[in-house]
Amino acid sequence: MGEVIFEDRHYREATMKGEAERARAPIPASVRFDEASGRIVVDFTNGAAFMVPARSIQGLEKATAAQLAEVELLGETGLHWESLDVDFTISGLMNGIFGTAKFMDAQRRGGQSRSAAKIEASRANGAKGGRPRKNG
């Protein structure tokens, strides 16, 4: 197998291509915790923003507002909370990955629990005719 030789023009072409792709890509510019909405907000250089409910993220469920406000950008790809030792990729959060598979399953099942109290309340409600009808 022969030796691969890169000429300066190859480097310049690759650099120009990378810079052009970067200019089109949304790059995180800042991140903050919006206490009023309870959301983490990532602002991008192209003017777009992404918001995610802070306490839906594994490791942040019981964090104080002050702890949530400590969020910082980790390069151009991640979010980091030093005092909580929590890190997430922005792309993962944008794809709805808020924790491990086990955490996500528990979150999804939260409203589907079948405790004895919930079953009894459902039966009592059904005996009264069930859920009231909506008008309209």
- Confidence bin at 1 (pLDDT 50/70/90): low
The average pLDDT across 78-86 equals: 96
Q: Specify the CATH number of the domain 26-125.
A: 3.30.2020.40
How many contiguous H segments (helices) and E segments (strands) does the chain have? Answer: 5, 6
Domain boundaries, the chain: 26-125
Residue 90: is it exposed, middle or buried by C-beta count within 10 angstroms (0-12/13-18/19+)?
buried
Highest mean pLDDT pick, 4-18, 67-81, 107-121: 67-81
- What pTM value is reported for the model? 0.67
Say what the pLDDT of residue 56 is: 94
**Rounded to an integer, what is the distance from CA 26 to the centroid of its chain?**
16
29-71 per-position pLDDT tens digit: 999 999 999 999 999 988 999 999 999 999 999 999 999 999 9
